[in-house]
Structure 1
């Protein structure tokens, strides 16, 4: 049976972060990232011309250093399955406001979702074909869920070297080139669970080990059992301040960013349009001491984000949808919001609207069930009944 994403108890998040930080420090992690850079699997690529080391070696060192600093500074969030459901439902339509830095709930953060916010299917054997670990004819098709994201305001200038100037390149969907020095926006890293090869037959050949023996699904899962963090770095992207959101591209960082940004919007709405309830779970004393020894500057408290009780679906609806979830892809949440929440562009200073001097932001409006209370729920196609021949 395919292994599902099993979300954590929110209290585990600080320890998960500690494991991620230790993993980023490891030489084996930098070696893995060097191979991934050679294979062209990174979107943000730092280079230092004339430094005398390979581009991949420099890139792996700088990327792990940056991600480590961001996680050290990160506020911790856990979005419950219902909150994940709401973000997915509202993200079916792109945000209408441009990318706005004030939408960030904290300057740096790490959020773990109770259900995947997306995923992609890939042949792991084919992906390794052009690396030293490839094996001729190997095929291992797996579905990787995206279950977490870290972020920070883009500030590459914090990375200093004794010699050489760091230049940053972007290799995104349909876009490539140097990132300008004055560029402003948000750096996002998406995470997937480690150790999900157990959905494959154990004998499935994925590649070749360093000694030339076959690398199988069972070997990878066995090697990872009890080693390294639960979450692994999957991909990254940039959101430029002031840029417009377009239609999401399925199974890409673009689509996952729509869901993440929508979650930030839902967390920010207050007053009558409030969507979220936040519970803060403090770190226990022993854990806080470990965090200080590890040099963490961000809070170790975990903010649990739930759907506000005014909008929360019934337990039966949640149970019905949970049974239909694979735990490997974003669920459809068919039972919860028959008429999905939708976006409304709200003017923040109406007196200046006519002259064009106003600003607008998204407000996400509650979905609902149309029709009188107690009437049978219909979610199928509308049928138009003509009781007479239309004129013409």
Structure 2
């Protein structure tokens, strides 16, 4: 049976002030049985790429792995600092990430040891055949042809080593495996040091399908429809675990295949680079939104150790595109994939390998970092943006007249 393709339901980001509440919802979810069941089914369907195993435990491997992964993500979110990248900031990171980062992955590159960032527009997406995705699960139903475009809109991270997770006494040490597309499955050595990244998509995307679209089979044998999935997910958090990866310290970045965790990692790492550059080319400016006292007390009762202040990251006014041109790109975006801009940064930023210790460069006793060099924004007459030394207010965004 052929079913319709998903309609372009947009990703509508939350108000930045709502990020502490969104984090609280995720923590509640990761403490529930529903989270364990969802993670277990994702692993059985082959969705996860970081797989823990514990010898000596009398339980199905998927159940053990799900419990470890869910508990680890809950701990990561409880320690996280909160960030919100505006739509312009998201588009800038995507433009600069058109070429992979040149520096080797550094644990000091993220703005905090643990964090959660929500993007104003998707940083990528992929088309999924729902019938094929459910084929290896109990909900499988022959003949289903329903496709959904899933956007990636948020990422959590933390520093990580294989020894970061402990299990009950009597069981063996956790063994970790990495399933990388095109690279097979490899064990993760205990000496590994790096960053753990979890990618999130919005919940409830089946709402883009006709409610009667058949997706699978319920335990009692009745059809699982798109309308029923929306009902089942009522009360679920706004973000849904999509996949994970790890970024090894000191390892360089390779060219990434589109629609993979590698590509999304490039965008995230580039956003961190843009946020960190406070030199002559200052790419971003940040507004902090403190958590109200009542909310901070609830966070403390929930075991949250990270700050609940939201850091809203925007493109610096010296590099921000005109409002009209940003609006044109926003109107052209589907909200289900990364924005295909034609007005923002049509000539994108590029990278320069910058030596951080030139006096020792000749003898090789130095280290290098990326420096992102501005491209230019085509103005109304196709001219590059003229950057002045004028001091701009936080809430001022250049209009068409600013580009003359």
Q: TM-score range by the shorter chain?
A: over 0.9
Report 1:268-283 matches (<5 A).
268-283=276-291
How far 1:356 sits from its partner (Å)?
2.1
How far 1:199 sits from its partner (Å)?
1.2
How far 1:98 sits from its partner (Å)?
0.8
362 and 71 in structure 1: CA distance in 2 versus 1, 3 angstrom threshold: same
1:2–1:200: 8 Å Cα contact kept in structure 2?
no
Which one of 61, 77, 87 corresponds to residue 83 of structure 2? 77
Q: What is the match of residue 291 of structure 1?
A: 299
Residue 335 (1) aligns with residue 343 (2): yes
* Cα deviation digits, residues 325-358 of structure 1 (max 9, x gap): 0000001222011211111111111112222222
Q: CA RMSD in A?
A: 1.4
**Counterpart-to-counterpart distance in 2, 1:6 and 1:196:** 11
Q: Which runs of 5+ in 1 are unaligned?
A: 379-392
Q: What is the match of residue 160 of structure 1?
A: 166
Residue 57 (1) aligns with residue 63 (2): yes
How far 1:375 sits from its partner (Å)?
5.0
Secondary structure of residue in 2 paired with 1:57? helix
Q: What is the match of residue 351 of structure 1?
A: 359
Residue 108 (1) aligns with residue 117 (2): no
1:107–1:153: 8 Å Cα contact kept in structure 2?
yes
**Counterpart-to-counterpart distance in 2, 1:336 and 1:87:** 11
Q: What is the match of residue 193 of structure 2?
A: 184
Q: What is the match of residue 311 of structure 1?
A: 319
**Counterpart-to-counterpart distance in 1, 2:145 and 2:29:** 28
1:125–1:205: 8 Å Cα contact kept in structure 2?
no
**Counterpart-to-counterpart distance in 2, 1:316 and 1:369:** 13
How far 1:223 sits from its partner (Å)?
2.2
Which one of 350, 361, 367 corresponds to residue 375 of structure 2? 367
* Cα deviation digits, residues 270-312 of structure 1 (max 9, x gap): 1211101011100001111110110100000000000001101
Q: What is the match of residue 220 of structure 1?
A: 229
Q: Which runs of 5+ in 2 are unaligned?
A: 1-6, 385-404
Range with greater deviation from structure 2 (142-151 or 194-203)? 194-203
Report 1:199-278 matches (<5 A).
199-225=208-234, 227-278=235-286
Give the structure-1-normalised TM-score.
0.93
4 and 375 in structure 1: CA distance in 2 versus 1, 3 angstrom threshold: closer
How far 1:40 sits from its partner (Å)?
1.8
Residue 21 (1) aligns with residue 30 (2): no
Secondary structure of residue in 2 paired with 1:299? coil
Q: What is the match of residue 47 of structure 1?
A: 53
Range with greater deviation from structure 2 (155-164 or 272-281)? 155-164
2:343–2:377: 8 Å Cα contact kept in structure 1?
no
* Cα deviation digits, residues 108-131 of structure 1 (max 9, x gap): 000000000000001111210121
**Counterpart-to-counterpart distance in 2, 1:335 and 1:167:** 48
How far 1:374 sits from its partner (Å)?
7.5
15 and 113 in structure 1: CA distance in 2 versus 1, 3 angstrom threshold: same
2:344–2:377: 8 Å Cα contact kept in structure 1?
no
Residue 322 (1) aligns with residue 330 (2): yes
**Counterpart-to-counterpart distance in 1, 2:343 and 2:162:** 44
Give the structure-2-normalised TM-score.
0.90
